Amino acid sequence: MPAKLAAGTGEAEQSEQEQAGSSFQDSLLKDAADMGHSISPPKDEETESDETPEAETETEVESEGEQVEGEQEEESEGEEQTEEQEKKLKPAAEHKSIDEQIKEFTEKGEKPPWYLTRISEETRKRQERTEVSKKLFVENQQLKQQLATATAPRPTSSDPLIDVYTDAQFAQVESMYEQISDLPDLYPDGINEEVTLPDGNKVSDVSHDVLVKWKRQAEKMLRTGIPERKKFVTSRYQQDNEARKIYPELNDEDSGWVQMGQQLIAAVPELTRVPDCWLWLGRALRGYQLEQAQAAQKKNGAAKKIVEARSQKKAPVLPKSRGFIQRSGADLEKAQKRLSEKGDQESAEAYLEAKGIGGGPKSRPALVR
């Protein structure tokens, strides 16, 4: 029997069996219903198998959701604990000074960390150095001011404005002379009691005529003396700047030029009466510097020659003669006479020996020692 036909026959028999079974089942259910029984049809295995995974899936999803929520809660709790720990671990000294931190450790009876002690010590040393530097700077400025004051020329009756240079000084002297010019009006009968004048001097007996004389002098200073002094100071500043350009050493405090110039001014105050005094001082100091350099160069050159002479090796000087001693004139004449009389070898050797240029084995020349 062919395979296809056999397969068709098998399928037909199977379908007939299924139909028979189904009809028998239906008949049983019908009989049960007639007898008053309510029987629900049995669930298919496939349906049960399909429904069960869904329930399990829902249960798994719910459990996973609960697990995720639990993990999130645990994470949030962990983060809160971490933040609290970090806050505890963060040093309270975050906004406190080093000394305050050390004080807290000391009050607790604990030894401060080594780095806090080191930082505190270095900070203290730096503050001390800063204070010392400030103190030295102030002292240096005071000494400079004292030196400038000591070397500055003093005012005289013929030149009362010789030490006035700044705007503040000009304002001060202008106010002083204005007050002096008002004295005759303030004291029409003269000064009969002790009074302190605008220039700081104290007087007790000054006539009105003297006050009028002072007023004329003060007005002259206000009219001509102060304006002329201002022109001089302006020219002086210009000449000083020119001197600094030509001689840069005047800008360098370490060069010593300014100090030497101030010493010269203190010795000869009349130098400040010319506006270009620092130009002349610069020329003098430059010449002094060149003299010092030339003297040092000569000294170094002489020392160098001595060193070179000592380092050079000289060849020994040979004597000009062989070192024979020439006999006196009497000996030579005697030997010559003997040679002319006898004419033998012995007299010839004696003659040569007397001349200092020969001699046989019996006659040796004497060496110069």
The pLDDT value recorded for residue 351 is 73
| Whole-number Å distance between alpha carbons of 107 and 285 | 67
The pLDDT value recorded for residue 348 is 74
pLDDT tens, residue by residue, 3-42: 443 444 444 445 555 555 556 566 666 665 666 555 555 5
Cα 301 off chain centre by: 39
Q: Is the pLDDT of residue 151 over 70?
A: no
The pLDDT value recorded for residue 28 is 61
Q: 196: part of which helix (H) or strand (E)?
A: strand 195-196
In the chain, the amino acid numbered 145 is Q
The pLDDT value recorded for residue 157 is 81
Q: Is the pLDDT of residue 222 over 90?
A: yes
In the numeric block, which tokens belong to residue 139?
């002292």
Q: What is the mean pLDDT of residues 228-252?
A: 93
The pLDDT value recorded for residue 83 is 56
313: helix, strand or coil: coil
Q: 82: part of which helix (H) or strand (E)?
A: helix 45-89
What does the mean pLDDT of the chain come to? 74
| Whole-number Å distance between alpha carbons of 206 and 105 | 77
Q: Is the pLDDT of residue 211 over 50?
A: yes
pLDDT tens, residue by residue, 317-342: 555 544 445 555 667 778 777 777 77
187: helix, strand or coil: coil
Pick 96 or 126 by higher pLDDT.
126
pLDDT tens, residue by residue, 61-107: 455 555 545 555 555 555 555 555 555 444 444 568 888 888 888 89
Quickly state the pLDDT bin for 297 (edges 50, 70, 90): confident
- Which residue stretches of 108-192 are H helix? 114-151, 167-181, 183-186
Q: Is the pLDDT of residue 316 over 80?
A: no
Identify the CA nearest to 102 among candidates 114, 84, 85, 90: 114
Q: What is the mean pLDDT of residues 192-211?
A: 90
Q: What is the phi/psi pair of residue 158, to 5°?
A: -80, -25
The pLDDT value recorded for residue 82 is 53
In the numeric block, which tokens belong to residue 168?
């503040």
Whether residue 355 contacts residue 332, with contact meaning beta carbons closer than 8 Å, is answered with: yes
Q: Is the pLDDT of residue 365 over 50?
A: no
The pLDDT value recorded for residue 93 is 42
Which range, of 92-106, 121-135, 268-282, averages the lowest pLDDT? 92-106
Which range, of 99-103, 293-297, 349-353, averages the lowest pLDDT? 349-353
